[in-house]
Structure 1
């Protein structure tokens, strides 16, 4: 093997490792706090107060409860991701033609489960406190090991857990304020399988986890029992995830994983919501949510430094919904959300992000006066997005040693089930 060939293979291996980590951008927001909210596309979710799950959005809404209340449930998220009209090419030698391969696939998505738990304890007619456990962020994608563009695929499985304690104080009959502390746990597994350039070894393998502290504040203003507004803000911390990091290096092919700290920035979230019961049987509700994804400018570790620049943009959710109070036992609800993409100019095959539409429906069944069972379902529709990713030669920017072109499309089905009870 000549020195120039070894040098080119080393450059390609490093570029593969860096580009593959793009899937670490899997800090996608999860709207998985409750089956009730899922059934209305989370429209007005921070001020309706059907059950204890409202504290995930706005702690001030605890003033709506005059009895202890619990809520427990889960949500499943099943993604359907397609890469179509795609080609992959690679070449480490500018003097020879590139090898081009079909890079279409429709077997990328997966299913994740996000459980949740909430408890509210009204101490007096002015003060209440509560605890919660739910997830705000996470994603799961997995390409086949024989996918043509391995350095742009692989497996990513990111999970998060938010453990919080919240309190609220009713300042006046119209105004309630709330606040809380969040302990946020994040865990990520990232693997990129071997390529022709890695000698049968994985190109990348990261397994890391860590904790960080965040906080939230909220306010609720009640015109009357049928009309109210809410405003809340969640500060999300950067998570320092510690674990083993392995990146293939031809110069040290037998090197072991090293202990490192991966720094994952998470976005702050602000939301305004409204709820209006227009008649004894009908209500409308809405929300506007701002997600500061521009916080996710880069991914880095303490030892390696900057791994990848992202420069994402801030995103928005716009949701509107309606509830039909059929009788004392049944409630029906539906909602629509338009959800904007966090990605800007940089797109990725591994992270098929786009503007999305949510079509949601659900119901509540009350078997008695103190308990309820909720079911919610959402069909999430993404858009076709053209993607071009390339790995350029550091010493010849006009020459790509690896390139993938195609169109990505991602849809998802979300299902939620929940049990709630007051005491």
Structure 2
């Protein structure tokens, strides 16, 4: 395969990592309570079973079986506008609705075995995306960067099993294994002009692939007293392998069997402090090793190839929040998060990444002392970004992107 064909699939496969309204293609949607407080303190608050998605050691704080069932709806608004090439002489227009809205479920269960051990299982998602910018493939242009415009969908599900151990009254540790399933679809097709002859409708990429990967998480908590505690965790993410139909190339289609996508590791520290019976404050600092996301590798019947290289940078997010107990029936919470973007020197229309600010609020209605219905609402606001990306067909393509979202979340939590 020549370098030109390889560059076409490289840019197209990179869309696997398109917009999900967190740094890179990371999701923040694991619980309604977490969304309501901008996930501040979520690795140590342990007010419901969803804490095991952030820190398995916190399961040691439960002396009753706990269940949480949740659903998040992400209303995603990604705008790509004023896309042009050849110094602005060719205009491809704008796409005001480039990302798909998403429904993201989760479920968690914690089972204390005795005063020392607890086990738990959960199903949730840490990574995912969906975009469609194929409308920019307007026919009749002198040259069209079909390699940059198309449809992408990837869905990941994390199935976690964890155990915690209480060392003493203050210290607890925990560990878990993540079984990650992912499936994705890529389509890059359109009319390519600028060849010696008009090529007409061409398919450069047609991918339907899925696969499994295994990762893990370790964590610890330190309970200073019953009103103050600290937690930390480190999640090890695998290189995800997706296999299936991977057809691409122009004018002759070629095939690979697998796409290898390295996922980043996640480290976080969190704190919770009860100021009085009504008020508590909490915070989180999280580091994600997006610098590990260097290359996408294709393997199969052809020789292994580096199909896309990145120069991403590691990213931090910081969040702070407060919880107010109104009465025995209602609890209110709010939070703020600043989420740093990961794109460094290499930018892409397919990854309209930027720094983002989260403004969140939530509440819990306590049906009784053991059951509650929890609500979360988050407004995510990104920055306007100018993107310059090189197409193998049209040269440098320039566009302007913005990524916003509103998260609506609800869950039911119960102690047995």
Please report the TM-score for the alignment, with normalisation by the length of structure 1: 0.89
| Structure 1: segments with no counterpart, 5+ residues | 1-6, 91-97, 393-399
User: What is the deviation of 1:145?
Assistant: 3.5
Aligned to 1:246: 247
Q: Rate the CA distance shift 1:102–1:242 in 2: closer, same or farther, 3 A.
A: closer
Matched, 1:41 2:42: no
Aligned to 1:290: 287
Residue pair 1:319, 1:336 contacting (<8 A) in 2 also: yes
User: What is the deviation of 1:21?
Assistant: 2.2
Mapped partners of 1:80, 1:35: distance in 2: 20
Pairing 1:137-148 to 2, within 5 Å after superposition:
137-148=127-138
Residue pair 2:76, 2:404 contacting (<8 A) in 1 also: yes
Mapped partners of 1:16, 1:271: distance in 2: 37
Mapped partners of 2:245, 2:209: distance in 1: 6
Residue pair 1:59, 1:167 contacting (<8 A) in 2 also: yes
In structure 2, which of residues 34, 43, 53 is the aligned counterpart of residue 56 of structure 1? 53
Aligned to 2:343: 343
Aligned to 1:414: 407
| Structure 2: segments with no counterpart, 5+ residues | 19-23, 139-144, 194-198
Residue pair 1:358, 1:380 contacting (<8 A) in 2 also: yes
Residue pair 2:256, 2:299 contacting (<8 A) in 1 also: no
Residue pair 1:201, 1:248 contacting (<8 A) in 2 also: no
Equivalent position SS for 2:313 = coil
Aligned to 1:123: 113
User: What is the deviation of 1:13?
Assistant: 5.3
Matched, 1:74 2:64: no
Mapped partners of 1:406, 1:85: distance in 2: 5
Mapped partners of 1:14, 1:316: distance in 2: 33
Aligned to 1:262: 259
Mapped partners of 2:186, 2:317: distance in 1: 28
Aligned to 2:331: 331
User: What is the deviation of 1:277?
Assistant: 0.6
In structure 2, which of residues 278, 281, 286 is the aligned counterpart of residue 281 of structure 1? 278
Residue pair 1:195, 1:203 contacting (<8 A) in 2 also: no
Aligned to 2:187: 191
Pairing 1:198-209 to 2, within 5 Å after superposition:
199-209=200-210
Mapped partners of 1:48, 1:298: distance in 2: 37
Aligned to 2:367: 367
Q: Rate the CA distance shift 1:117–1:30 in 2: closer, same or farther, 3 A.
A: same
Mapped partners of 2:150, 2:86: distance in 1: 17
Aligned to 1:404: 397
User: What is the deviation of 1:165?
Assistant: 0.8
Please report the TM-score for the alignment, with normalisation by the length of structure 2: 0.91
Equivalent position SS for 1:312 = coil
Pairing 1:306-317 to 2, within 5 Å after superposition:
306-317=306-317
- Which has the higher mean CA deviation after the structures are superposed, 106-115 or 354-363? 106-115
User: What is the deviation of 1:372?
Assistant: 0.8
Mapped partners of 2:136, 2:16: distance in 1: 21
Aligned to 2:235: 234
1:314-365 CA-to-partner distances (Å, cap 9, x unmatched) read 1111000000011111110000000001111111112100010000001101
User: What is the deviation of 1:413?
Assistant: 1.1
Aligned residues: 397
Equivalent position SS for 1:350 = coil
User: What is the deviation of 1:151?
Assistant: 2.4
Equivalent position SS for 1:232 = strand
Mapped partners of 2:134, 2:211: distance in 1: 28
In structure 2, which of residues 13, 38, 60 is the aligned counterpart of residue 21 of structure 1? 13
Mapped partners of 1:28, 1:184: distance in 2: 15
